[in-house]
Amino acid sequence: MSLNEVSSLAGADHNARSQNRIEAELVADLITAAVEAGLSAEEVGVVTPFRGHARILKSCLQDKLGIFGSKLVVTDTVERMQGQEREMIIVSFCSSDPQYISAIAEFFFQAERLNVAITRPQTKLVIVGPEIPEGMLQQVDDLRVRKNIEDYKSLVRHCYKAEVD
């Protein structure tokens, strides 16, 4: 699966807020592929900002890996993953509704939360998240939040430039 395929699949639900079944199914497919390639399910973790989305992710994983396999994959919020590491971490941002993201921007783009999420993997980091519309920065008054959004956008740009195997 190429980066562009992943990008278009993840963006298919433009109204997702704190739960996103399409993104959860994509993440479950990525984990299934990793496990089939030889990675132990115990070495995979999924980080998401929302508990409701974590529940949907667990359900999708159960459909793909069965009850036992799905329980081996740690799927939780950023706060609950703090201090844990896994060989592969998938960060599933879930939200794709620009108005909702703008309304919760301070929470969604908090630098400490992003730092915890992207520093959990030992080897492989996969980020599944929204593209930020051009006008979003102008809707945010808080300079700290604006910087956090810019940092997120910079991370996304870096991911697109990275070599994909």
Which amino acid does the sequence have at 33?
A
Range 3-161 classified under CATH 3.40.50.300: yes
Long-range CB pairs of 65-68, under 8 A, 24+ apart, other chains included: 65/28, 65/31, 65/32, 65/35, 65/41
Judge contact between 50 and 97, C-beta under 8 A.
no
Domain ranges within the chain, ordered by starting residue = 3-161
CA distance 36 to 162: 24
pLDDT tens sequence across 80-123: 888 899 999 999 999 888 889 989 999 999 999 999 999 999 99
pLDDT tens sequence across 4-17: 344 444 445 567 88
Record the pTM. Answer: 0.86
